Structure 1
Amino acid sequence: MSRNPNAPGANGADRAIVRFDDVSMRYGRAPETLKDISLALEPGSFHFVTGASGAGKTSLLKLVFLAARPSKGLLHLFGQDVSAVPREELPFLRRRIGVVYQEFKLLDHLSVFDNTALPLRIEGRKPDTYRDDVAELLAWVGLKHRMQAMPATLAGGERQRLAIARAVVNRPEILLADEPTGNVDPDMALRILKLFVELNRLGATVLFATHDEDLVARSGMPVLHLQNGRLTAPGARP
Structure 2
Amino acid sequence: MDTPVQNADAITTQDWEQAASDPRYRAAVVDLLGALAYGELAAFERLAEDAKLAPTLEDKAALAAMAAAEFHHFEQLRDRLAAVGVDPTEAMKPFAAALEAFHRHTAPSDWLEGLVKAYVGDAIASDFYREVATRLDSDTRNLVLAVLDDTGHASFAVEKVRAAIEDEPSVGGRLALWARRLMGEALSQAQRVVAERDALSTMLVGGVADGFDLAEVGRMFSRITEAHTRRMGALGLAA
The answer to whether TM tops 0.5 is no
Structure holding more helix per residue: 2
TM-score for the superposition, normalised by structure 2 = 0.30
Structure holding more strand per residue: 1
